[in-house]
Amino acid sequence: MTATLIDGKVVAEDVQRETARRADILRSKGVTPGLAAVLVGDDPASKVYVNAKARTCKKLGLYSEVITRPATVSQNELLDIVKSLNDNDKIHGILVQSPLPKHIDELSITLSIRPEKDVDGFHPHNVGLLLMNRPLMISCTPYGVIKLLEYYKIDPAGKEVVIVGRSNIVGKPLAALLMQKGRWADATVTVAHSRTRDLPSVTRRADILIAAIGSPEMIKGDMVREGAVVIDVGVNRVDDVTSEKGYRLVGDVAFAEVADRASFITPVPGGVGPMTIAMLMSNTVMAAERLSGS
C-alpha cells in the first residue's frame, strides 16, 4: 500500500481564503482584525515563526504588531505589555511566543491574557470550555489536525484514535476535541506517551495514529497497522552533512517505512505545520468578529 499524502499547504490555503473573506467583511464594517506577537529573547526558531505569522497577517489583510524584548526582560514588564495589548482596541489576538526565559513564569503570562484575545487557546478558561465542548478559542495545532481530517473526509466517528504525546499544546487538547460528541469527533481516544508499556501494541490498534511526542522518527513501520491514517505533528532537526544547512527536518514518524503501510499520511515539512499558522489567523478573525459584535 502506498499512502495518500495529506497536503497541509493546500488545506492551509483553503482555510486562509475563507479567513481573508471574513476579514474583508470586517474591514467593510470598519474593523481590521489585529494580531500582536510578543517575542522575548533571540531564539532562532521563535523568530522564524513570529516573522511567518506577521507575513501571513499582511497577506490576509490583518493588522500585525511584533513586540520584541531581550531575554533579560522582567516578568512585570512582560505583564505590563500584555495588559496594554488587552486594552488596545486595535488588537484582537495576543500571543506570547514560547519558549520564555527561565525567570519568567509562563503560566502567569498566559493567565494575564484576556481569554477573548487568547488566540493560542492556552488560557485555562479556554481549556475548560474546550473540555465542556463549548470552545471559545481552540489551540491552533489541534484545530489544524481536525481541519486536515475534515478536508480529506477522514471521519473519526467510532474509530480508535491513538495520540502519542500528552502535551498541553497538542496531545491533551486534541484528545478532548476528538472524544467530544459532534462532527469530526466521536472517536475512542487513547493518549500514549514515553512511559506507555509496550507502546507498539498500543499504536497498532489505531485506525488514526497521531504522533506528537517530539522524538525524531520514533514511530516505525512495524508500529502502524496496515491501512491506518497517520498524522505526524512532530518537527525535529537532525544533523545532515549533505544538507547546505547542516541539518534536515523530520517528523516523529519514520516516513518512508510508514508510508508503505498507511492509507493516508502527513509529510514533514508541509503537513500539520502550515495548518498551525492558518488556524491562528482564523482564530484572530474570529476574535475580531466576537469583540466587535460582528
- CATH number of the domain at 100, please: 3.40.50.10860
Confirm if 234 and 211 have CB atoms less than 8 A apart: yes
Backbone angles phi, psi at 202, to 5 degrees: -75, -45
**292 occurs within a structural domain:** no
Catalytic residue among 97, 147, 172, 252: 97
Coil, strand, or helix at residue 178?
Answer: helix
Do 50 and 169 lie in one domain? The reply is no
Confirm if 170 and 233 have CB atoms less than 8 A apart: yes
Do 92 and 164 lie in one domain? The reply is no
Distances (CA, A) of 34 to 77, 79, 89, 214: 22, 19, 9, 31
Do 190 and 248 lie in one domain? The reply is yes
**112 occurs within a structural domain:** yes
Q: What would the grid cell of residue 125 be? A: 478558561
Percent of the chain scored above 70 by pLDDT?
A: 100
**38 occurs within a structural domain:** yes
120 is catalytic: yes
Do 112 and 147 lie in one domain? The reply is no
The predicted pLDDT at position 216 comes to: 96
Cβ neighbours for 187, distance < 8 A, ≥ 6 positions apart: 156, 157, 158, 159, 160, 161, 178, 179, 208
Q: Total domain count for the chain?
A: 2
**184 occurs within a structural domain:** yes
Q: What would the grid cell of residue 54 be? A: 506577521
Q: What would the grid cell of residue 188 be? A: 475512542
Do 259 and 187 lie in one domain? The reply is yes
Indicate if the alpha-carbon torsion angle 97, 99, 104, 105 is positive or negative: positive
**23 occurs within a structural domain:** no
Do 51 and 166 lie in one domain? The reply is no
The predicted pLDDT at position 193 comes to: 95
Q: Which residues of 190-201 are buried (b: 16+ CB within 10 A; e: fewer)?
A: bbbeeebeebee
147 is catalytic: no
Catalytic residue among 118, 120, 232, 252: 120
Do 73 and 179 lie in one domain? The reply is no
Q: Residue 161: give its domain's CATH number.
A: 3.40.50.720
Using CA atoms, how far apart are residues 160 and 163, in angstroms rounded to an integer? 10
Q: What is the largest CA-CA distance in the chain?
A: 57
**289 occurs within a structural domain:** no
Nearest to 230 by CA among 164, 158, 178: 164
Q: Which residues of the chain have pLDDT under 70?
A: 1
Using CA atoms, how far apart are residues 113 and 123, in angstroms rounded to an integer? 7
The predicted pLDDT at position 247 comes to: 87
Do 91 and 159 lie in one domain? The reply is no
| Boundaries of domain holding 61 | 30-116
Cβ neighbours for 139, distance < 8 A, ≥ 6 positions apart: 120, 121, 122, 130, 169, 170, 173
Do 164 and 111 lie in one domain? The reply is no
180 is catalytic: no
Residue 115: asked if its preceding bond is cis (omega within 30°), the reply is no
**291 occurs within a structural domain:** no
